[in-house]
Chain A
Amino acid sequence: MTSEQQTIVKNGLWTNNVALVQLLGLCPLLAVTSSLINGLGLGLATLMTLVLSNSFVSIIRHWTRPEVRIPIFVLIIASIVTAIELAMNAWFHELFLVLGIFIPLIVTNCSIIARAEAFASRNSVLDSALDGFMMGLGFLLVLVLLGGLRELIGQGTLFANAHLMFGSAAEGLEFTLIKDYPGFLLAILPPGAFIGLGLLIAIKNSIEKHKSKQTIRVSPPVKPAEVAVQ
């Protein structure tokens, strides 16, 4: 692997992570991560879309006139998403029903057109596919992590409904944290998604801060303000 490709890998998974750094595709990210399997399902669909759209855009990059490139990218992405949607409807019908509108909405995920425009339209097919794969993988990992956290805190399980994805053999995968866990509904409700993503971003930032070991100037402690009395 060339050093350039290493940079692509690192960019997708960490430095330029779609969900944690670029903060793109927040709508599906926050809406479907109520369980690990949901996150995994949407993550895989997005990953596949990214790889395919990056490859196609890269293949035709020499024949695409810059004036019309955006409509062409959109057409390519839309046809890929439609194909994936139909495939999921056929083979993972129950999961498709759970994810609902968020599968067709992958079209509007900004990260996909952003990669097409910023990377695939000016790089070789192989690099573009790799970039799509790594960006998608970075997104998928965050979806799975957030979905898993919310599911674990919210209802005390992991891999619930795994059969939606892996068939009935996977039903035994479901893992229960504590028996009679009362459930922490907030984690599954929308606020849980926002708080969870915020915490993940904070953790990532603090890891980076720790790694860079730069001395960060600590702002002087704030003196408690005086409360004015009328």
Chain B
Amino acid sequence: MLFRKASSPFISAQASVHTIMYQVLYALIPGTLAAIYFFGWGVLINLAITAIICLFSEALVLKLRNRPIKVSLKDGSALITACLLALALPPLVPWWLTVIASIFAIVIAKQLYGGLGFNLFNPAMVGYIVVMISFPREMTYWTAPLGAVDHWLSFSDTFSVIFYGALPDQSSIDSITMATPMDTLKTQIGLENDITSTRHHKVYGTLFSNISGKGWQWINLLFLLGGLWMIKMKVIDWRIPVSFLLSLLLISNFFSVSDYATYPSALFHLFSGGTMLCAFFIATDPVSASTTPRGRWIYGAGIGVLVYTIRTWGGYPDGIAFAIILMNMAVPLLDYYTQPKTYGKADTE
């Protein structure tokens, strides 16, 4: 039997927090561009608000804590939080909601726990959950994606909706926003309409594409590509995304095969909502995710099961944030019980 021969010196990538974080940011670019393309100016405005507030509040807390400001701001971790938050929030949410989410993410979830490396929970997801449970109505302000409508809301209209709550002439909040495909399916199934009739409904039908939802499938696909690039660059470990996607695939396939009229297909689950963003960018957070190989398998699979459970039977349309936070809580336990055996040592138990 032949083994691959390798001899020293083993060259390893020059990895620092800074380079890793910036590679993550680069990998986010294609999916973010797609989100902007499909949902319009709102995404860009949100991104600007979260970036400014996250960096500012990080600097403020660091100053209060007498820690070096420049180094921490430059490492890009606050920017990633800002990006994830902006991508998770609906494009037309009022500005103050975005500000609250950013402040909670950075000040409470990250800095009060001790800053980068010490936070138990994923900061962006904490910020998202805070506004999700506090302002459920505003969190439905999704615009219809390009494809379902033929043009974006103009920049000035978007700006005035976000900053002044002023709607364009002759429109109501219901005419410029639209439920997400996932939310629509959930509501319609709740009303005992089956999936096929919802997909061909003359109003809601425009939201759906052959795979999942218009726009959503491309956004998810591009996040998937960005994620694969990160795995290739060894920025993230492959176990968490694989086990998360696999468990989501298996469980959603099981239910949709057993009753395809009320349970959406596995493909729909994989390519709608925040699935791919979660798989590669949120669940793989090096700080709040599990760090042992076996722990990572369990962590990813747990998120998959929870996401499916919340999406299908829970009160919220998408369950990514709650699933991540719940599994974050399990991480210390997972890491404790899944320590790999030290090479050359017998089991001590």
Contact = CB atoms under 8 A, between A and B. Distances in A.
Nearest to B68: A221
Contacts, number: 48
Contact of A225 (B66, B68, B117, B234): B117
A185 interface: yes
Given A229-B12, A229-B15, A230-B234, A224 B133 contact: no
B205 interface: no
A189 B20 CA distance: 37
Contact of A227 (B16, B100, B133, B135): B16
A218 B135 contact: no
Contact of A224 (B13, B75, B134, B138): B75
Q: Which of B15, B67, B133, B134 has most A Cβ within 10 Å?
A: B134
Interface residues of B, number: 27
Given A186-B130, A221-B67, A226 B135 contact: no
A119 interface: no
A101 interface: no
B234 A224 contact: no
B348 to A, nearest CB: 24
A222 B130 CA distance: 29
A184 interface: yes
A228 interface: yes
Given A224-B72, A224-B75, A229 B13 contact: yes
A66 interface: no
A195 interface: yes
Given A218-B66, A222-B67, A227 B15 contact: yes
Given A195-B108, A218-B66, A226 B17 contact: yes
Nearest to B138: A182
Nearest to B13: A229
Interface residues on A, range: 10 to 19
A2 to B, nearest CB: 41
B30 interface: no
Contacts of B146: none
A189 B133 contact: yes
A230 B240 CA distance: 14
B286 A227 contact: yes
Contact of A228 (B15, B108, B116): B15
A185 B286 CA distance: 31
Given A195-B108, A218-B66, A224-B72, A185 B135 contact: yes
Interface in B1-38: 12-13, 15-18, 20
23 contacts: A182-B135, A182-B138, A183-B134, A184-B100, A184-B134, A186-B130, A186-B133, A189-B133, A218-B66, A221-B66, A222-B115, A222-B117, A224-B18, A224-B71, A224-B117, A225-B17, A225-B117, A227-B16, A227-B17, A228-B15, A229-B13, A229-B235, A230-B237
Given A184-B100, A221-B67, A222-B117, 11 more contacts: A182-B135, A184-B134, A184-B135, A195-B108, A224-B71, A225-B117, A226-B17, A227-B15, A227-B16, A227-B17, A230-B237
